[in-house]
Structure 1
Amino acid sequence: MASARSLLIVEDDAAFARALRRSFQRRGYAVEVCEGLEALPDALARMEHRYAVVDLKLGVGSGLKAVKMLHDHDPEMRIVVLTGFASIVTAVEAIKLGASHYLAKPANTDDIEAAFGRSDGDTEVPLTKRQTSLKTLEWERIHETLVESEFNISEAARRLGMHRRTLARKLEKRRVT
């Protein structure tokens, strides 16, 4: 049975994972860090977790696969996806696959813990009157293609009909960190 405050962090950035681990441990969580998809089955076998924080872009593979694995393992687990490359496409896919919430980096421990507690939508979120720009549409298409190609930049560039370096530059320009 899972401890009431057991947390699994799926993150390939060791420094960020270490900082997140320490912060949650100070709040009384039992924390385990998993560096990627290949280590996830072992982490799930070792301990039951109530909560999970998953980085969307893992070194090898997509955090979306981790979300699916976690949700399939325990549909009651509260999963928060963190990303430096936020997009509507990946947010929708993460929620469909079982994530409870989706946060753009930088997100701190307070933000993540608050996200664990949110189970209902917010009908008071203000609607924007701003129309979608061409740049936003391009950004969404790029991210849709990145998801389809499992975050393989070379493959995404090929599918988009652009040079790999061009795509890499576009991703760096719009990166949310």
Structure 2
Amino acid sequence: MADLSADIAALPDKTLLVLDDDAPLRTRLGRALEQRGFETTLVGSVSEALAAVRQAPPAFAVLDMRLEDGTGLKVVEAIREARPDSKVVMLTGYGNIATAVAAVKSGAIDYLSKPADADDVARALLARGDEAPPPPENPMSADRVRWEHIQRVYELCGHNVSETARRLNMHRRTLQRILAKRAPR
């Protein structure tokens, strides 16, 4: 963290917009990034984020992909128009290749899965030019990635176990057992 704080302290503009509709995560991530030296603005919706970008375009942004009132891609576009040199990192609880490609095409420099560590987010924001940030120190386990995917499909199916099992091509009872367990680490 000391190296990151020094790198952030050397920045001419430390403004950072954090957009996430999960208030505890947004607050925790915002505080952690503020402790590292960023000047954070925390917002919980696309409309709040667009207003914040119009008022003062940030040098950096950490945006959630899926929100109740839209998508973080809309905010990426607004930031790119207002401040082309801004660095944007997308966060999502439901990572997949299609959304990662869409995020990068819209102008994001990186795409991280939730829960993202503040150091990983800061490293992604501070990556220079074409240099890719280093891989995360503690990536999600394969079991956790699988569990996240199942939860996402379950949510998209309106919490209908039978429909979720059909879409995942698994037995309904197997799915019920997985859903009854706690999330793996």
Q: TM-score range by the shorter chain?
A: 0.5 to 0.7
The change in CA–CA distance for 1:92 and 1:25 in structure 2 (over 3 A counts) is same
CA contact (8 A) 2:30 2:40 kept: yes
The change in CA–CA distance for 1:38 and 1:120 in structure 2 (over 3 A counts) is same
Determine whether 1:30 maps to 2:39. Answer: yes
Residues 135-168 of structure 1 deviation map (CA, whole Å, 9 limit, x = unaligned): x9xx8xxx9xx9xxxxx94xxx6xxxxx873359
Q: Which residue of 2 aligns with 1:54?
A: 63
TM superposition shift of 1:16: 0.6
TM superposition shift of 1:73: 2.1
Taking the TM superposition and a 5 Å limit, the aligned residue runs for 1:1-177 are 4-118=13-127, 119-120=129-130, 153=156, 165=160, 166-167=163-164
Q: TM-score, normalised by structure 1?
A: 0.68
Secondary structure at 2:63 match in 1: strand
TM superposition shift of 1:70: 1.9
Runs of 4+ aligned residues of structure 1 deviating over 6 Å after TM superposition are: 168-177
Q: Over the residues paired in the alignment, what is the CA RMSD in angstroms?
A: 3.6
For the residues of structure 2 that align with 1:25 and 1:117, how far apart are their CA atoms? 14
CA contact (8 A) 1:53 1:81 kept: yes
CA contact (8 A) 2:63 2:72 kept: yes
Residues 72-112 of structure 1 deviation map (CA, whole Å, 9 limit, x = unaligned): 22221100001110011000010000001001112111100
Comparing 103-112 with 40-49, greater Cα deviation is found at 40-49
TM superposition shift of 1:3: 5.8
Equivalenced residues, count = 145
For the residues of structure 2 that align with 1:85 and 1:105, how far apart are their CA atoms? 8
CA contact (8 A) 2:95 2:113 kept: yes
Stretches of structure 1 lacking an aligned partner (at least 5 in a row): 126-135, 147-151, 158-162
The change in CA–CA distance for 1:176 and 1:47 in structure 2 (over 3 A counts) is farther
> Which protein is bigger by CA-based radius of gyration?
2
Q: Which has the higher contact order (CA 8 A, sep 6+)?
A: 1
Secondary structure at 1:99 match in 2: coil
CA contact (8 A) 2:93 2:113 kept: yes
Q: TM-score, normalised by structure 2?
A: 0.65
The change in CA–CA distance for 1:18 and 1:66 in structure 2 (over 3 A counts) is same
